[in-house]
Amino acid sequence: MSPLDEAATGPAVVAVGGGHGQAATLRAARRYAGSVTAVVSLADDGGSSGRLRASLGLPPLGDLRTCLVALAAQDSALAAACQHRFPAEALLGSTPPGGQSPASSGPGHPLGNLLLAALATVTGDLQAALDEAGRLLGCEGRVVPASAGPVTLVAETPDGPVEGQVAVMGTSRIRRVRLAPPDPPASEAALEAIRQADQVVLGPGSLFTSVLAAAIVPGIAEALRSTRAQRVYVANLRPQVAETAGYDVAAHVAAIRAHGIPVDVVLADTSHIPLGEPGVPVVERPLADRPGHAHDPEQLAKALVDLLG
C-alpha cells in the first residue's frame, strides 16, 4: 500500500492561508493525510465577502467557503451548488420606483456564502457554522478561521500605509504587512490544530494577502514558531502582479521569515519563476497543472508526502 492510500492513519496536516491556492493544498492533503485542517485568514474585504461583512457585520466568508468545497465529498451536489453565484437581480428583485438598479449593487452572492451567513446568524458562532456546513458537505477535514473575528490587513510601503486586502493586492513594493487591530485573538481551534500537526503547509497563494494575512495573527505566528511539525512553504508558480511583481522564490521566503514565520523546507516548481537563494532547503518538483496556471493536487500530494519521508 502506498502512502497516498493510507489516509486513515496518515499525518495530521494543517494548511494556512486563504483563497484558491489554499484549496489546492487541501485537495492535495486529503489524498495522504489522516486529518486535514484549513486555517483561513479573515482579512478579505472584497466581492461578496466584503459586502456581507459591511452589510451584516459578518466575518468574510468567501475563502472559508472555498476551503469547505475543497474538502467536500467528491460527489456532493451541495458543494457544486455552494459555488453557484446568483445574479444580483435574482437576489434583489426588480428595481423599485426611483430606486437603485440591482445591477449597480455588484454581482450576486455565491450560495455557499449565504448558507454560511445563515448558519452563523442562527448559531451565533462562526466555528459552529463552519462545522455544520462541513457536516452537510461531507467534508474530509475541518475549516477554522485564523482569528476569532475579522481583521483589516495593512501594508507598509515607501509611500505610506495601504489599508484593506483588496487595496493591498493592487500594491507593489510592500515592505511588510500588519493587522488591525494589532493583537486579534487567534482561533482556539486553529491553535490546537497546529499543536497537533505533523506538517504545516504555507501557500501556495497570494503572499501578503492570503498566506501572511493568516500567519501573522499573533497566536498563529507563535504556534508556528513553537510547533514540532514540518513547516513547508509551497511557492507560487509565478510572481503576482502587483503584490509580488519581480519576486523570485527566495524573495517570497525572505518576506515570510521577516514576519517571524519559520520555514523548514520550500517546495517549488521553477518553470516560470526564478529560484534565487532562499537560504533554506528547497525541493524542486513539477507541480503545475496542464495549463500551467495552478498547482495540480495530485502532483502536490506526491511531493508533500515525500517530504515527510
Order of strands, sheet of 142-145, starting from the edge strand that comes earlier in the sequence: 142-145, 35-40, 12-17, 199-202, 230-234, 265-268, 282-284
Give me the pLDDT at residue 105, please.
Answer: 47
Order of strands, sheet of 152-157, starting from the edge strand that comes earlier in the sequence: 160-163, 152-157, 176-180
**Whole-number Å distance between alpha carbons of 43 and 50:** 9
Asked whether residue 64 is domain-assigned, the answer is: yes
Give me the pLDDT at residue 104, please.
Answer: 38
Asked whether residue 99 is domain-assigned, the answer is: no
Give me the pLDDT at residue 4, please.
Answer: 45
Say if residue 223 is preceded by a cis peptide, omega within 30 of 0.
no
CATH number at residue 247: 3.40.50.10680
Asked whether residue 98 is domain-assigned, the answer is: no
Report the domain count for the chain: 1
Give me the pLDDT at residue 91, please.
Answer: 57
Written as nine digits, the cell of 262 is: 519559520
Give me the pLDDT at residue 153, please.
Answer: 98
Give me the pLDDT at residue 8, please.
Answer: 59
Asked whether residue 203 is domain-assigned, the answer is: yes
Asked whether residue 66 is domain-assigned, the answer is: yes
Domain that holds residue 214: 3-88+107-307
Give me the pLDDT at residue 106, please.
Answer: 55
Give me the pLDDT at residue 143, please.
Answer: 98
Positions in the chain short of pLDDT 50? 1-7, 94-105
Asked whether residue 100 is domain-assigned, the answer is: no
Place of cell 528547497: 282
Give me the pLDDT at residue 2, please.
Answer: 41
In tens, the pLDDT along 198-234 reads: 999 999 999 999 999 999 999 999 999 999 999 999 9
Q: Which of 291, 196, 188, 303 is nearest to 238 (CA)?
A: 291
| 171, 141 Cβ separation under 8 angstroms | no
Written as nine digits, the cell of 164 is: 484593506
Written as nine digits, the cell of 20 is: 484558491
Give me the pLDDT at residue 5, please.
Answer: 44
Asked whether residue 258 is domain-assigned, the answer is: yes
Asked whether residue 284 is domain-assigned, the answer is: yes
Dihedral sign, Cα of residue 306, residue 283, residue 302, residue 29: positive
What are the b/e assignments for 29-38, b being 16+ CB within 10 Å? bbbbbebbbb
User: Which pTM value belongs to this model?
Assistant: 0.91
In tens, the pLDDT along 70-94 reads: 999 999 999 999 999 887 665 555 4
